[in-house]
A and B are shown apart, each in its own frame.
Chain A
Amino acid sequence: MKMEKVEQLRHYYLRHDKKFPHVWCPGCGNGIILGSLIRAIDKIGLSKDEVVLASGIGCAGRMPVYADFNTLHTTHGRALTFATGIKLARPELNLITVMGDGDATGIGGNHFIHAARRNLNLTAIIINNQIYGMTGGQYSPTTPYGAKAATATGGHLEHAFSIADLAVTAGASFVARGTVYHVPHLDKLIEQGIRKNGFAVIEIMAYCHTQFGRRNKMGDAVTMMEKLRDRAVAVKDPGAAGSPGTAVAAGASDTPGAAASAGALDSDSLDTLDGKFAIGVLTDVEKPDYIAEYARLRAASRLNAQNAGNAGK
């Protein structure tokens, strides 16, 4: 994308009356994700009025305030519940939620799996930096075994799970994983997620050099980003086989045993600091549309009520 175009998008989609600078640390990948999101929305051609961007709490939770959509900064872990209410009340709106790993799968884990099961047409962007960054680097549900955190100074005793695999298991109709390194790929994944008619999850592997990298001697932001490049392995997109957009320049895809196909579990490799993980579209299935189903229920209920009324006369 040309720089003028990038500049135009920035001016069009970011709020002019919001005081900057933003809250994120220099070197953070959250701004890259905001950029991807804006480009995806622009590509689809949604108007700013028909987009609702909702978030929970944490660094990821601060994203909506900068964007010129209908924006909502909810309570910790609850973004999907608010989004559910908005979507049901105004189905024509496009609901996008932005959450962190702790937000979506720690405190909000219950809402996350049920939103996946329910399959309402929402897009869930989950930024996985493997730590609670804003509060000072405490371990999260995706902190790898043995990693150091503010509340695990001697090394983490618990095990991380894979958010994308959790989403697949819980029944989400679209699940993808990207990274903040593979940006054009990420644009596309977010676009696909928003276009998907059903519950779509995009897990984005990110890093927190301030709270996680420093403790675990992983280097600066650039080094951590390069690490993401090396760890990522592209999978074939099950929804669009052969699509060139999914051919990602993954640094070390020659490693045998890496998660190379959709459905292969990444829980083990994501429980380490350097294991390979899959990126791309992991699941893309069609399920009945909740809004359409509810409309059908409404019509049937009205008919029943009418019949009952007529019978009464």
Chain B
Amino acid sequence: MSDKKASRENDNQPQSGVNGVGAPQVAASGTAMRVPAREPARSSQNAVPRRRLLQGNEAMVEGALAAGCRFFAGYPITPASEISELMSVRLPRENGTFIQMEDEIASMGAVIGASLAGVKSLTATSGPGFSLMQENLGFACMAEVPCVVVNVMRGGPSTGMPTSPAQGDVMQARWGTHGDHPIIVLSVATVAECFEITVTAFNFAEKYRVPVILLSDEVVAHTRENIVLPESAQLEVVDRIRPSVPPQWYKPYADNSRGVPPMATMGDGYRHHVTGLVHDQSGYPTERSDEVKTQLKRQMRKISSGFGEIQLTRSFMLEDAQVAVIAYGAVARSAKRAVRMARRQGIKAGLLQLVTLFPFPRKAVDQVLRQCKAVIVPEMNFGQISREVKRVNRTCRVFTVNRIDGQLITPAEIFQEISN
């Protein structure tokens, strides 16, 4: 169905004109360790071609493995199940562990546990399961446990439309768990990005000690495209920084210039306490106002000080654009084609594709809003990112194109809005 519509456009090549720092491979700066990707078992499988016809979900598995993920816990759900299925085959080969838990709450708990034990961990789900994960996601934010959560969005709310695409979980990805919390939300539009941005997601999670939500949707997840998997040597893979002090000096939540404390692995001699309660720098529960403030502010600061590299966007024909489309996920593919259609008609149109949704890439969006007369925000919901765009907007006219009927927004629909 809509898969074909989306894949007809040859959008799977890595795009040039990247705004912000980083993408395709995230440039990890600062003090993070740079370690080449290790794939022990890969050497025995040299026959694996690097050019592969893959589904979005499958490319995410390849990306996760390339990033060093060696643990997956999940629960069956459409349209994310292929990730579980492939992980159950691939992980044991790579000396990793796959487990199907009794529900998504348990999956998220197991993922956090494995990460605390030093293993990069992933889970994948869709809306209903993502709702169940919110509780332990909050724990991962509070205890600063790196992990990646894929949400292949389907029609909602509730059980909604399991086999149809949507983008209704954007705000949930940012604000789903209770309380103010630091979190990173990324999105993918192509199969190539499913690989590449999954690596980025792990790198961000490890570098900032946060859960990273990776939003896909049913169209991207089930579209098959030919992509070239990069050699592992070309990939930059970031691992969490481990403590270098003797165990008795270790303060698991002490501040430093980056705001990201080194993370000890359970069982390595750095015995400490991990809790979802607000804690002091030793990890012990506290309600002392000065300690609470210090910890929570640091948790927010570690993200805000990384805006430069976290806020990833991609621009297409934006240089002289007077009308811009701001889109993400599968809709960005329709938008790209719509921009081409508009250009053929002599309209100076361009596309700003948001890869990072949160922290909202205000700088890049602001630039587009200043430059253009009109901005169009198409999305498969009633308007979630358009609210963010309007929030940062001062002078530009912002139009929305929304669909919530389980169908991908077509290039023609966006083109029509551009022409108006």
Contacts and interface: CB of A to CB of B under 8 A. Distances in A.
Interface of A: 17-19, 48-50, 52, 64-65, 68-75, 78, 80-90, 92-93, 110-111, 114, 294, 297-298, 300-302, 304-306, 308-309, 312-313
Interface in B95-117: 95, 97, 99, 101-103, 105-117
Given A17-B282, A85-B117, 19 more contacts: A52-B267, A64-B273, A69-B271, A70-B271, A74-B276, A81-B106, A81-B113, A82-B112, A84-B109, A85-B115, A86-B117, A87-B113, A88-B113, A88-B114, A89-B113, A89-B119, A114-B102, A300-B92, A302-B93
Contact of B71 (A52, A70, A85, A305): A85
A184 to B, nearest CB: 28
Interface stretch (B43-51, B53-61, B329-337): B43-51
A88 B110 contact: yes
A232 B226 CA distance: 68
B277 interface: yes
B113 A84 contact: yes
B361 interface: no
Contact of A89 (B93, B105, B118, B136): B118
Given A88-B114, A92-B267, A309 B109 contact: no
B275 interface: yes
B113 A65 contact: no
B49 to A, nearest CB: 9
B44 A81 contact: no
Contacts of B47: 308-309, 312-313
Chain B binding surface SS class: mixed
Contacts of A92: 267
B73 interface: yes
8 contacts: A65-B285, A73-B277, A89-B113, A298-B92, A298-B93, A298-B95, A302-B93, A309-B48
A65 B284 CA distance: 7
B171 interface: no
Given A70-B267, A71-B274, A86-B117, A81 B45 contact: no
A78 B109 contact: yes
B121 interface: yes
A111 B73 CA distance: 14
A41 to B, nearest CB: 13
B273 A90 contact: no
A81 B101 contact: yes
A66 to B, nearest CB: 9
A37 to B, nearest CB: 16
B135 interface: yes
Contact of A85 (B109, B269, B282): B109
Nearest to B247: A49
Nearest to B73: A85
Contact of B284 (A18, A75, A78, A308): A18
Nearest to A76: B135
The residue in B45, B102, B272 that gathers the most chain A C-beta atoms within 10 A of its C-beta is B102
B266 interface: yes
A85 B120 CA distance: 11
A79 B214 CA distance: 26
A120 to B, nearest CB: 9
Contact of B266 (A52, A80, A88): A52
Nearest to A90: B117
Nearest to B285: A65
Nearest to B120: A89
B412 interface: no
Contacts of B95: 298
A75 B99 contact: no
Interface string B257-277: 000000001111101111111
Contact of B97 (A70, A89, A304): A89
B33 interface: no
A85 B112 contact: yes
B92 A301 contact: yes
Contact of B267 (A90, A300, A305): A90
